[in-house]
Structure 1
């Protein structure tokens, strides 16, 4: 019985690797802020987005709810 080794994959050239890296989008870290810094001493803030006003508020169960 004869066994054969699987074919080895083609080598990745430096040029092909550089092209792959260049095509990958830059990773931008997500900005994080605390609800306390956003809300201040209040329980509700208004946020303007694309000409509309949204209301972010803290509920009685200490959850956040965003409404238009």
Structure 2
């Protein structure tokens, strides 16, 4: 019975250590700056205009022939 009580105390101590240690492993420091907001450099707008012009050229070519 004494061995069983000793094992229980060891397991209880291990559970307490893990309860305090595990949450701090996953903690993130608050010193890191947040990521900057995404900015548009106009590439998507230019690409969209190019697609529309290509579609217009394709339709006009189809109509003319």
Mark yes or no: TM-score above 0.5. no
For the pair shown, the structure with the greater C-alpha radius of gyration is 2
Which protein has the bigger strand share? 1
Normalising to structure 1: TM-score of the pair? 0.30
Which protein has the bigger helix share? 2
Bigger relative contact order, structure 1 or 2 (CA pairs below 8 A, ≥6 apart): 1
